[in-house]
Chains A and B, each alone.
Chain A
Amino acid sequence: MLTLLKGGHVVDPANGRDGIGDVWIHDGRIADPPPGGKADATHDVSGKMVLAGAIDIHSHIAGNNETMARLLLPELRAHPGHEGPRGSWTTRETGRLYAAMGFTTVVEPAVPPHHALQAHLELADIPIIDKAALTVLGNDDFTLNLLRRRESAQALADYIGWTLATSRGLGIKVINAGGAEAFKGNVRSFALDDEVPDYGVSSRTIVKALQHGVSAIGLPHPLHVHCNNLGVPGNVDTAIATIAAAEGVAMHLAHVQFYAYGKEGARGFSSAALKLAEAVNAAKNVTVDVGQVMFGQTVTISSDVLRQFNARNSASPKKWLIHDGDANGGGIVPYDYRPTNFHNAVQWAAGLELFLLITDPWRVFFTTDHPNGAPFTAYPDILALLMDRELRAQWIARLPKEAMEVTTLPAIGREYTWAEIATMTRAAPARLLGLKDRGHLGAGAIADIAVYAPNKDRAAMFRNAALVFKDGALVVRDGKVVRETYGRTLTAAAPRDHAIERRMVDYYRDRFGLTPDFMTVAERVLGERHSFETVPCRT
């Protein structure tokens, strides 16, 4: 089957394309124009923008914490902020809403190993898009004990490999390293150089050890770090200290908007996005995603149990779930970001400042930390804000003046180009995750393609893609799902070591009185909708 997308404006930064041209699809892959070839199907996309399918590197779409949030908030609509009927915040809607916007790969960034099977069951139920999971380590007894005993870097690398294989993750994330464990010991604030009670290991030690472990086994995606002190005024220093701690080795910092806070101004809360952006610009080994805040009701879902516990009294509506897990656990706190709220307005501005002040679109990623800063259904509005300073000015005019005075946003004139949007949401995430055949439109790439019809209302354009192809099949037309397929779950081909297998059996027997079989993501039970796609490690 040969399909031709004819005469569109092709934006494919990975291959240096930004102009009118054709895109050919052959059996699910992008193909070179066949010599004298005749297409079996032709879509006239003249006047439209043709991009690879978008990739979201950090969106909480599956797992026990997400489902507990659904159960905590039966009153929420589809995806918070989406005008769907109640009770449609489901795995099915997740896939359909993402696809309608032209997203074709989404990473669930916080899967605790003991809950990995549930996360994969949910991922398997999300239609159309491809999925992946990041496995969470760094608050678990095994890692902390390895570090306390100063065991070899190889032992930690073997354990990372074992955990990835057991939980079928694509990469490793650390969430407030040691903070959840410290909270169990009644610690109420936890910084980079604080030590976890009983283990005598600092947060910095955990982050650095995991960072090097991930690098040692050749995982394409660097350690994905959720820093300490999320949401705390003045925490820009924590983020900058963590960047410095990376010491030139690759590291990804998640949802940095939540760390872009200073203590300036009459209220002791200000945007420090400029300072953070400068630090990111200077550290070429570091990538970040933003975690943009948008106004409206949402729910915060995080494995940073300590932070969520401290935030429980700001819950709106007033209810919350705090779970001390076997390692990280989770906290669910509903929250309503209000445009009249000084702090929320500063947060909104700080996120946009980061997008606009970080100069390299290959190193800043497009997220809201769904649903923590905003539901992913708010993406189209954010893209519109990035591309249009007039639109930003209209929003700024409606927000508290004193909030805008502690940010630099009103002075920023930059507007994202299509090439920068395509880099940030397509080419760069594919590179960051090690997905060579995604995020671009070169021959051999998977034919995940989004076509947008330019419109004065850019948000409407991004919300309802004109056409979306997944693996070469047309799945969305004019924002409506026309075909519901099932994608694949991407998983790293982590190296497996037999000695660690035996050691883990002994460990689980001694500590839990169980075999580790309970945490194995057994492919036999994932159902017919499910399939894995393996992503190789660097050799």
Chain B
Amino acid sequence: MAEAWIRGDPVALDIAAREAARLLAQSRMPVIAGLGTDVEGARAAIALARHVGGAIDHMHAAALLRDLDVMRSGGMMTTTPNEARLRGDFLLLAGPGLIEAWAELPARLLQSGKPKRIVWLCGGTDADGIGASVERIDGELPVLLACLRARCAGRLVRATPKQIEALAADLAKATFGVAVWSAAALDELSVAMLCGLVADLNAATRFSGLPLAAGDNAAAVLQVCGWSAGLPPRTGFARGSGEHDSWRFEAKRLADSGEADCAVWISALSATPPAWTRAVPTIMLAHDAALCAKAAVAIAVGRPGIDHDAVAYFPATGTLVPSLAEQAAKAISVAGALEKIAALLPAGAPC
């Protein structure tokens, strides 16, 4: 397999890197997006964005920012998957998308660890086939959560569903309850209501939250952005230091509006294409050959943790962990490719 392409034609890696550097150097507003990569790759992407005065965004930033917006506007209580498993005596699963977010959830949380009561609100088809030990309550999640929080706080609610009435009483009896959700499948108000419910319950008992991370190493990339940019994804560096604006620096909006005139798309973990519809000269760093075929420039990158050593978010612990490659493959890493491109950029770029 070739290692790099220009408009679909195989070229040497150095030639592709030179063309990528040329596109970035002449760009007035580049966006570096996707960010489906490991810690070193994310670090290199942020460094490149600083260098060229571009913006950074992650393909799952919408979900990341939904949790983050709740936290940074009011607060949050969270715990680890292991505490949920070993200490939790009550699991409140909220909404669909939980298994999609964490395939091991049934095995690690529902079928092992401390025996626990499990209630799943609006689980949809996700909740099918999990087993009889899960009680299901269906309806409209925002409404159910609002009723539940109000009843837990002792407020009167017109027409509270009976199951919710009982659930409110039972939640207060939990000794260490854990609410589990995936922001990818919920709206921000539901996340806020659920986190508010958890906080309220701690007035008398212990309850915490377990937000499940979005895919493509989003949780790790968020941490890297935090420590090396001081800000989460959807941050721009056009004015030197980082500016965070979740509307302004959304990659899809930048591309579709024409504000971005060049894009770097990084998808080394899954074969996810960009979401924008307008044609933007794109430098593609992907493992998937099909993704590489159409881009202005493409470099085939290795899979983190398989083709090269990496650091990745590990859902079972909620931490960054080493992901060591069995044997180093030839394919260049995202960090390696980005550093190669950056080295070919003219000096004295915006900052």
Q: CB within 8 Å of B: which residues of A?
A: 62, 64, 66-68, 70-74, 78, 84-93, 114-115, 117-118, 121-122, 125, 183-186, 309, 312, 315, 318-326, 329, 511-514, 517-522, 524-525, 527
Q: Kindly list chain B residues whose C-beta atoms are within 8 Å of the C-beta of A312.
A: 75
Q: Kindly list chain B residues whose C-beta atoms are within 8 Å of the C-beta of A70.
A: 226-227, 230-231
Q: In the complex, are the beta carbons of A74 and B244 less than 8 A apart?
A: yes
B78 interface hit (Cβ, 8 Å): yes
Within 8 A of A (CB), among B58-106: 68, 71-80, 82-83, 86-87
Given A87-B231, A122-B227, 6 more A-B residue pairs with CB atoms under 8 Å apart are: A74-B230, A117-B321, A322-B77, A324-B80, A324-B206, A325-B80
The answer for the CA separation of A319 and B87 in the assembled complex, in Å, is 26
Closest Cβ–Cβ distance, residue A86 to chain B (whole Å): 7
5 interchain residue pairs of minimum CB distance: A87-B242, A85-B241, A522-B322, A67-B226, A324-B79
A114 with B319, Cβ < 8 A, contacts A71-B68, A74-B72, A326-B83 known: yes
Q: In the complex, are the beta carbons of B227 and A518 less than 8 A apart?
A: no
The answer for the CA separation of A315 and B320 in the assembled complex, in Å, is 28
Q: Kindly list chain B residues whose C-beta atoms are within 8 Å of the C-beta of A517.
A: 321-322
Closest to A523 in B: B322
The answer for the CA separation of A84 and B112 in the assembled complex, in Å, is 49
From the candidates B43, B76, B205, name the one contacting A321 in the complex (CB within 8 A).
B76
From the candidates B72, B83, B229, B323, name the one contacting A72 in the complex (CB within 8 A).
B72
Q: In the complex, are the beta carbons of A121 and B226 less than 8 A apart?
A: no
Q: In the complex, are the beta carbons of B311 and A125 less than 8 A apart?
A: no
A518 with B72, Cβ < 8 A, contacts A87-B230, A324-B79 known: no
A90 with B320, Cβ < 8 A, contacts A184-B83, A322-B77 known: no
Within 8 A of A (CB), among B235-256: 235, 240-244
Q: 30 A-B residue contacts at CB 8 Å?
A: A66-B227, A68-B226, A70-B226, A71-B72, A73-B72, A74-B72, A74-B231, A88-B241, A90-B227, A90-B229, A91-B228, A114-B317, A117-B320, A125-B43, A184-B206, A185-B175, A186-B176, A318-B74, A318-B75, A319-B71, A321-B75, A321-B77, A322-B208, A323-B79, A324-B208, A512-B82, A512-B317, A513-B108, A522-B322, A525-B309
Q: In the complex, are the beta carbons of B227 and A91 less than 8 A apart?
A: yes
Q: In the complex, are the beta carbons of A518 and B319 less than 8 A apart?
A: yes
B26 interface hit (Cβ, 8 Å): no
Closest Cβ–Cβ distance, residue B39 to chain A (whole Å): 6
User: Please, what's the 1-or-0 string for B255-290, where 1 marks a CB less than 8 Å from any CB in chain A?
Assistant: 000000000000000000000000000000000000
Q: Kindly list chain A residues whose C-beta atoms are within 8 Å of the C-beta of B241.
A: 84-88
Q: In the complex, are the beta carbons of B223 and A323 less than 8 A apart?
A: no
Closest to B244 in A: A74
Q: Kindly list chain A residues whose C-beta atoms are within 8 Å of the C-beta of B242.
A: 86-88
Q: In the complex, are the beta carbons of A309 and B76 less than 8 A apart?
A: no
The answer for the CA separation of A517 and B208 in the assembled complex, in Å, is 27
The answer for the CA separation of A521 and B319 in the assembled complex, in Å, is 12
B36 interface hit (Cβ, 8 Å): no
Within 8 A of A (CB), among B294-351: 309-311, 314, 316-317, 319-324
The answer for the CA separation of A184 and B75 in the assembled complex, in Å, is 19
A186 with B206, Cβ < 8 A, contacts A87-B230, A117-B320, A121-B320 known: yes
Q: In the complex, are the beta carbons of A326 and B227 less than 8 A apart?
A: no
The answer for the CA separation of A524 and B310 in the assembled complex, in Å, is 9
From the candidates B78, B175, B227, B311, name the one contacting A117 in the complex (CB within 8 A).
B311
Closest to B235 in A: A87
Q: In the complex, are the beta carbons of B71 and A71 less than 8 A apart?
A: yes
From the candidates B39, B205, B223, B240, name the one contacting A186 in the complex (CB within 8 A).
B205
Closest Cβ–Cβ distance, residue B7 to chain A (whole Å): 33
Closest Cβ–Cβ distance, residue A508 to chain B (whole Å): 10
The answer for the CA separation of A291 and B337 in the assembled complex, in Å, is 44
Q: CB within 8 Å of A: which residues of B?
A: 39-40, 43, 68, 71-80, 82-83, 86-87, 108, 112, 175-176, 202, 205-206, 208, 222-223, 226-232, 235, 240-244, 309-311, 314, 316-317, 319-324
Q: Kindly list chain B residues whose C-beta atoms are within 8 Å of the C-beta of A519.
A: 317, 319, 321
Q: In the complex, are the beta carbons of B72 and A319 less than 8 A apart?
A: yes
From the candidates A67, A318, A324, name the one contacting B227 in the complex (CB within 8 A).
A67
Task: Please indicate which of the listed interface residues A70, A185, A312 has the most CB atoms of chain B within 10 Å of its own CB.
Answer: A70
Q: Kindly list chain A residues whose C-beta atoms are within 8 Å of the C-beta of B79.
A: 323-325, 329
Closest Cβ–Cβ distance, residue B323 to chain A (whole Å): 8
Closest Cβ–Cβ distance, residue A171 to chain B (whole Å): 22
Q: In the complex, are the beta carbons of A86 and B226 less than 8 A apart?
A: no
Q: In the complex, are the beta carbons of A514 and B316 less than 8 A apart?
A: yes
Closest Cβ–Cβ distance, residue B337 to chain A (whole Å): 16
Closest Cβ–Cβ distance, residue A74 to chain B (whole Å): 5
Closest to B232 in A: A71
The answer for the CA separation of A91 and B43 in the assembled complex, in Å, is 12
The answer for the CA separation of A315 and B112 in the assembled complex, in Å, is 37
Task: Please indicate which of the listed interface residues B71, B73, B316 has the most CB atoms of chain A within 10 Å of its own CB.
Answer: B71
Q: In the complex, are the beta carbons of B231 and A315 less than 8 A apart?
A: no
Q: In the complex, are the beta carbons of A319 and B75 less than 8 A apart?
A: yes
A72 with B71, Cβ < 8 A, contacts A324-B83, A326-B83, A513-B112 known: yes
Q: Kindly list chain B residues whose C-beta atoms are within 8 Å of the C-beta of A118.
A: 223, 319-320
Q: Kindly list chain B residues whose C-beta atoms are within 8 Å of the C-beta of A320.
A: 75
Q: In the complex, are the beta carbons of B78 and A524 less than 8 A apart?
A: no
The answer for the CA separation of A275 and B87 in the assembled complex, in Å, is 41
From the candidates B40, B72, B176, name the one contacting A527 in the complex (CB within 8 A).
B40
Closest to B224 in A: A121
Q: Kindly list chain A residues whose C-beta atoms are within 8 Å of the C-beta of B222.
A: 71
Q: In the complex, are the beta carbons of B309 and A524 less than 8 A apart?
A: yes
Q: Kindly list chain A residues whose C-beta atoms are within 8 Å of the C-beta of B316.
A: 512-514, 518
Q: In the complex, are the beta carbons of A87 and B229 less than 8 A apart?
A: yes
Q: Kindly list chain A residues whose C-beta atoms are within 8 Å of the C-beta of B175.
A: 185-186
Q: In the complex, are the beta carbons of B314 and A518 less than 8 A apart?
A: yes
Q: In the complex, are the beta carbons of B68 and A315 less than 8 A apart?
A: no
From the candidates A73, A86, A183, A525, name the one contacting B324 in the complex (CB within 8 A).
A525
Q: Kindly list chain B residues whose C-beta atoms are within 8 Å of the C-beta of A329.
A: 79-80
Q: Kindly list chain A residues whose C-beta atoms are within 8 Å of the C-beta of B202.
A: 309
Closest to B67 in A: A71
Closest to B242 in A: A87
Q: In the complex, are the beta carbons of B86 and A511 less than 8 A apart?
A: yes
Q: Kindly list chain B residues whose C-beta atoms are within 8 Å of the C-beta of A521.
A: 322
Q: Kindly list chain A residues whose C-beta atoms are within 8 Å of the C-beta of B72.
A: 71-74, 319
The answer for the CA separation of A66 and B232 in the assembled complex, in Å, is 14
From the candidates A85, A121, A321, name the one contacting B39 in the complex (CB within 8 A).
A121
Closest to A126 in B: B227
Closest Cβ–Cβ distance, residue A299 to chain B (whole Å): 12
Q: Kindly list chain B residues whose C-beta atoms are within 8 Å of the C-beta of A93.
A: 230
The answer for the CA separation of A118 and B221 in the assembled complex, in Å, is 12
Q: Kindly list chain B residues whose C-beta atoms are within 8 Å of the C-beta of A185.
A: 175-176, 206
Closest Cβ–Cβ distance, residue A516 to chain B (whole Å): 11
Closest to B79 in A: A324
The answer for the CA separation of A62 and B175 in the assembled complex, in Å, is 33
Q: In the complex, are the beta carbons of A184 and B87 less than 8 A apart?
A: yes
Closest Cβ–Cβ distance, residue B188 to chain A (whole Å): 15
Q: Kindly list chain B residues whose C-beta atoms are within 8 Å of the C-beta of A520.
A: 322
Q: In the complex, are the beta carbons of B230 and A89 less than 8 A apart?
A: yes
The answer for the CA separation of A185 and B87 in the assembled complex, in Å, is 9
Q: Kindly list chain B residues whose C-beta atoms are within 8 Å of the C-beta of A88.
A: 230, 241-242
A117 with B322, Cβ < 8 A, contacts A321-B71, A321-B76 known: yes
Task: Please indicate which of the listed interface residues B87, B175, B321 has the most CB atoms of chain A within 10 Å of its own CB.
Answer: B321
